[in-house]
Chain A
């Protein structure tokens, strides 16, 4: 348990993605089975303990500490689990430190009645980091900045495996993943996914640049809308129905309406959208359905989920992935027509003779739910990952506004000596109101210059945040690009941007020439 606790502790403080990977790989290298498998399960969110809950843990500390001292401590620390971990009275030598595997297996096995005593025993035996990790494990609120995908990536890196293959076999496997680690260690063959309806790694595209078009013959390509939804894989095999995100996370639980409509024997690739009366609703409607463990009747009725499908990977047990796109497309069209399922619609091909036709269409795409065009070669097989030369994404031009830099905050990790997070605002009734925050879109040299500007123009400091000069004739204008705009009650300006980033730094422009909030309001979705 100590090694696992140390890993969680390190991950929680390490901002860089590559550094996190290095830590997890180091852990896999030094910790034996089955502990490392359970650690992988914890990081991928595959563990759930039904009898161990936060309220019970609070009860444990109340039996052991003076209530006033607990209250003062809780107020100071700001997190109940952490407070308990820190102030748990030490009983040296009472117990040996349990292994992670022992804890996981016992948590699964222990009855509700015996659970408090069991957890108290472990807390007695662990040090403060161990106690913190145990409480985080039990409450499921890890907050260590590691996604399931990153944990799998680390396993792939550890065993020099292809992440796509790891994702492909993942759903057939169970903690503590002995066969997976055996494969990674080169001691066994790739495990076969024993279960039905596994995830198949998806095929991804490259952004297309102006220069690429010269080398592309329009006749070789097919065009589709690039929907502004969520890429999913819907698989239904032998009665098992699963909806996967494009990274292979099982999101079936959030979409019972769609699962219900999956009456077929196939694996399809498509876009998850909210579809109301045959029309695709904006992304903000889809957000109402995301990240929910359970969905209420109201959400199901107001935000019905639907699919726009664009590829057929497996049909009645036949793997179509090696076939060229055109052949798969033919099969797909016939397949969708045969279904007659209102929630599952075909993502249409857009006819065009040359790429300029698409420029037109792309620029005027009225549909709010389209963010661009996909170009796919007619002869492309369905390949895992991001192979070069087959699929291209051609995004609609982003929205742009000129905003004024208001605050800058220090970055984290390797950026910690730079003011690299920027809050910007636009004019409203002669004053600047904050409308968003951006922390990328600039080069290293630009970052240095921005940092210099912040330091030279600070008018106020609050901890890591600096307020910079922002007067009509003194200050810095940032051209901000973003993908869309929504109403928001959480922001003072009443709007929230999607994917804002710095497009250009307007060293030349005085703040008085920055845009008005009124302009943003015309861009609302």
Chain B
């Protein structure tokens, strides 16, 4: 049974959001839509789920049914096995689905392949749950499409004005420059296995890098899936099949957890790089022993977050997780009504975490044996 909304949020928040909580409301399991009796990206098994994208904090196994794009369903299948739910419903972008008394449709979010915003309409009002999104072009997925709405629900992972992601092509060029400066070393880029890894490989190709890209075993499945869904990645090879010498002056991509792991000893003197929006802050990069921080994120930066809010100018903005206070404060200064939801269970930047946790524990779970 869904948790009644009025028991889960503070009274002042509810009075603020009252006009819309009968359509979507926050609960400990995630956002819930009473007229359709479904959850969006539920953090625990639920009878009916709409899933915005395949990152593991949004897409979990064990729901009674899942509505998502066919790419997201394929990603979930690759991750959890084909039986991750008894009932899969593939939705095209823009295609309307009636669930109970609500209508749901998906609009591209520009986050990773298959990512979508969930647009929920009921009682003549429209609420957009944006999931994770970004506004800049990404060669591996469809671009974000703004949907005018009454309530826009946004994350705020990078909700501080210090977070402005630079041009991703320039960031990748830094990695390529390192290959020139240190021809006897390789550049090991830590990147999340879903989305970030494939985007970086595509950017490398666009930057003129035609040599083989060596990948950690944990990347293999999702890279193949991307290729089968039409994203070309070029010559990929597994590090476990390679000898040390051939990886000199080459790019190697591995999950962030493999950086500094014993696994990396098979590589020729790796320059440790990490592709993440967190790399914008020097202390973060140093903490993780990163030699080459690459500020590349699949999340909206400060300018994208605030630009999107101004562009949509919804009646209300709800902020799910991240740095909610600064974004809400900014919205107030700019004449927008905004409230933090403090939703729990969603990782900062897709489980890459703001450093530390992953880098420390991962070696034990890093997929390939050492």
Q: How far is it, in angstroms, between the C-alpha of A66 and the C-alpha of B292 when the chains are bound?
A: 31
State whether B329 touches A68 (Cβ < 8 A). yes
Smallest CB-CB separation from A83: which chain B residue?
A: B162
Cβ of A245 < 8 Å from any Cβ of B? no
Q: Which among B259, B269, B325, B326 has the highest number of chain A CB atoms within 10 Å?
A: B326
Q: How far is it, in angstroms, between the C-alpha of A413 and the C-alpha of B259 when the chains are bound?
A: 11
- Collect the chain A residues with CB atoms within 8 Å of residue B201's CB: none
8 Å CB contact of A13 from B162, B181, B290, B360: B290
State whether B333 touches A77 (Cβ < 8 A). no
Q: Name which of A15-23, A111-119, A251-259, A292-300 contacts chain B.
A: A15-23
State whether B326 touches A69 (Cβ < 8 A). yes
8 Å CB contact of A417 from B262, B282, B285, B356: B262
State whether A66 touches B260 (Cβ < 8 A). no
State whether A12 touches B282 (Cβ < 8 A). yes
- Collect the chain A residues with CB atoms within 8 Å of residue B282's CB: 12, 79, 82
State whether A69 touches B285 (Cβ < 8 A). no
Cβ of A410 < 8 Å from any Cβ of B? yes
Q: How far is it, in angstroms, between the C-alpha of A23 and the C-alpha of B178 when the chains are bound?
A: 10
Cβ of B160 < 8 Å from any Cβ of A? yes
A13-B281 CB under 8 A given contacts A83-B162, A87-B162, A128-B166: no
Interface residues on A, range: 20 to 34
Cβ of B16 < 8 Å from any Cβ of A? no
Cβ of A101 < 8 Å from any Cβ of B? no
- Closest Cβ of chain B to A424, distance in Å, is 22
- Closest Cβ of chain B to A285, distance in Å, is 34
Q: Which among A22, A414, A416, A461 has the highest number of chain B CB atoms within 10 Å?
A: A416
Q: How far is it, in angstroms, between the C-alpha of A22 and the C-alpha of B264 when the chains are bound?
A: 23
Cβ of B293 < 8 Å from any Cβ of A? yes
Cβ of B272 < 8 Å from any Cβ of A? yes
Q: Is the interface of A mostly helix, strand, loop or mixed?
A: helix
8 Å CB contact of A414 from B269, B333, B359: B269
Cβ of B161 < 8 Å from any Cβ of A? yes
State whether A13 touches B260 (Cβ < 8 A). no
Cβ of A379 < 8 Å from any Cβ of B? no
State whether A13 touches B285 (Cβ < 8 A). yes
Q: How far is it, in angstroms, between the C-alpha of A78 and the C-alpha of B285 when the chains are bound?
A: 13
Q: Which among B160, B272, B287 has the highest number of chain A CB atoms within 10 Å?
A: B160
Cβ of A464 < 8 Å from any Cβ of B? yes
Cβ of B330 < 8 Å from any Cβ of A? yes
Q: How far is it, in angstroms, between the C-alpha of A15 and the C-alpha of B290 when the chains are bound?
A: 10
Chain A positions 372 through 392: 1 when the CB is less than 8 Å from some CB of chain B, otherwise 0: 000000000000000000000
Which parts of B136-188 form the interface with A (CB within 8 Å)? 160-164, 166, 181-182
State whether A72 touches B289 (Cβ < 8 A). no
A65-B161 CB under 8 A given contacts A13-B285, A22-B182, A464-B359: yes
Cβ of B291 < 8 Å from any Cβ of A? yes
- Collect the chain B residues with CB atoms within 8 Å of residue A83's CB: 162
- Closest Cβ of chain A to B173, distance in Å, is 11
A72-B291 CB under 8 A given contacts A13-B285, A86-B280, A464-B360: no
- Collect the chain B residues with CB atoms within 8 Å of residue A414's CB: 269
Q: How far is it, in angstroms, between the C-alpha of A83 and the C-alpha of B302 when the chains are bound?
A: 14
8 Å CB contact of B164 from A14, A68, A90: A90
Instruction: List chain A positions with a Cβ less than 8 A from chain B.
Output: 12-15, 19, 22-23, 26, 65-66, 68-69, 72-73, 76-79, 82-83, 86-87, 90, 127-128, 410, 412-414, 416-417, 461, 463-464
Give 19 CB contacts A-B under 8 Å: A13-B285, A13-B286, A13-B291, A13-B292, A13-B293, A23-B181, A26-B181, A68-B326, A69-B326, A76-B160, A86-B280, A86-B281, A87-B162, A127-B166, A414-B269, A416-B259, A416-B289, A461-B360, A463-B356
If A66-B333, A416-B289, A463-B360 are given as contacts, then 4 extra A-B residue pairs at C-beta distance below 8 Å, sorted by A number, are A13-B292, A22-B181, A26-B181, A461-B360
Closest 10 CB pairs of A and B: A86-B162, A416-B260, A87-B161, A73-B162, A416-B289, A72-B326, A87-B162, A463-B356, A13-B291, A73-B160
